[in-house]
Chain A
């Protein structure tokens, strides 16, 4: 009898209030229990890698900045790391600190954004609005210091584009000081609220073994007890020069993921404060001049808010990259839902899917093409379009 039991399929996506981006999860449910999931992504292909091959090395920095709206400095960060690796460029110390400040401010506002959304997903809209309210001063700070609320365009091969003056440094320190009590408040609120705990605990547990098997990165991995962080494991920019800790928790559920993110924000505040202090002492150039990019290949990594982002750049000399490969953290994290969601209930599934902080526009680099069916070339498409137009014309004339 139980084998014949009908399994209902619940679609989450491609358009769903849960997530802003197009993605498709087929939840196979039995009553309220999730017994299976199929993950389909690939709705958001934009051909960034191909575009990058037609841009010069400098222009590609701006291009990769447009990959993602929230972690808009992570991709350029990894990209400049890759090109500097390729050309063996050493950047000035001041530029290192400035890069670190940009990266960490971005991490804080990205995590606050996620925390707010997590509140929204469990129906707690007050948390949502409050988190985004706290995020607002940070975005304003970005505008005052980096020139834009998002898409700061701070990264440049060989250094950074803008300097941070001492006044701006004070501004950053003041805002960080204002932020700490708010973070503490959020931390305590989530830790003390029994209803939130009842909702987040156990939900979507990703065990350490599964986390390793799915190669998850970033806060998702650190919440499952895996201590990985590119900033610590392979220090770049100023991460090796300041004192900070990697936040790890063992539970692997949504609660752990939340707490890891809040703790990480506090660590980011620590890093930013140290960097700003050091910026007052370390004076000098903010960029090294690059004459040309030699032949060769390089990789660049950056610990984005969602995990390790990886860029590979290959040059054959000349002004444009020959090949540019991007791997975003969500590419690793999203598929861990295959184990995290199954066995839970639908409300947990909705929360778990969002808990890895997926970013599909970052992830989607390729599109699967079914080779058995007919492949349409651009010429075919144009021909089809024309035929359709003729047909419509005919119909309209016939109608008259």
Chain B
């Protein structure tokens, strides 16, 4: 059973299929916004398979083990998150404190990117790694604060199944003022966790040529790319679970797709910010908003 759980449903295969679909939605919506036609449905699959077939080049002077291991860490951490989230949402199977485990596991891809960039022995990659580090520093605080809002609202529930249950009984969290503020903050944090425009600063193709990814090729790059797609699929799902009561019916799926499209719209209607602007944004207004939502939650709003 564990084999099926981890590898088929809701493990690697299922996660990858959802990631492919979300990636396709991303490309298609982007294309439509930009008056282009967009790729066919199977394009992400082709891309992934192509990368799997390519040669793996390892830079001289870098740390080979870390260089090759970091994509795998990133990928497997995300599959684990997907496993926990889907299992909890569908079967109500969870464990106390799984919310914290998810938050912890969601941090791993960022660290994997930093490790991979730092072990690439390339100035552009290390620049990207240092940018990613600053990004993690900037968005984690408001994100944790908005999670605190949920904890206060639900009366100290720290398991995901409990949070979903609470919302089924008392209405979705996004409906309250503090919940909405926390949702907004979370959306911004997720946008930067996904490394999407306006926060795709660690990769910034036009500035540092892909930054942390610059030395990657073949399957390691494939796993990093797949991690990006899975993040894009998972984080809106987590937001749906935390603030909109999870996916229980067709309406849940609709909410999810709507949120994915919102992410894509933000991505396509903004330029990339500078790293200092991002830091200022997250530590200034966004943290204040998150603090406000915590205060409002304590007042019971």
Contacts and interface: CB of A to CB of B under 8 A. Distances in A.
B206 A123 contact: yes
B207 interface: yes
A55 B170 CA distance: 84
B274 A348 contact: yes
B127 A199 contact: no
A123 B34 contact: no
Contact of B35 (A8, A119, A129): A129
B60 interface: no
Interface in B24-61: 30, 33-36
Nearest to A15: B209
Given A125-B34, A129-B34, A120 B124 contact: no
A130 B204 CA distance: 21
A126 B268 contact: yes
A345 interface: yes
Interface string B259-271: 0000000001111
Given A10-B124, A129-B34, A198-B277, A122 B271 contact: yes
A196 interface: yes
A283 interface: no
B209 A199 contact: no
B196 to A, nearest CB: 10
B271 A130 contact: no
A9 interface: yes
Given A126-B33, A346-B207, A196 B271 contact: yes
Given A8-B123, A195-B270, A123 B198 contact: yes
A345 B274 contact: yes
B204 to A, nearest CB: 7
Contacts of A296: none
A171 to B, nearest CB: 23
Contact of A195 (B198, B200, B207): B198
A11 B146 CA distance: 40
B91 interface: no
Contact of B206 (A17, A198, A199, A345): A17
Contacts of A119: 271
Given A8-B123, A10-B124, A10-B127, A120 B206 contact: yes
A20 B272 CA distance: 20
Contact of A345 (B34, B271, B276): B276
A121 interface: yes
11 contacts: A10-B127, A18-B206, A122-B271, A122-B272, A123-B206, A125-B34, A126-B269, A129-B35, A130-B35, A198-B273, A199-B277
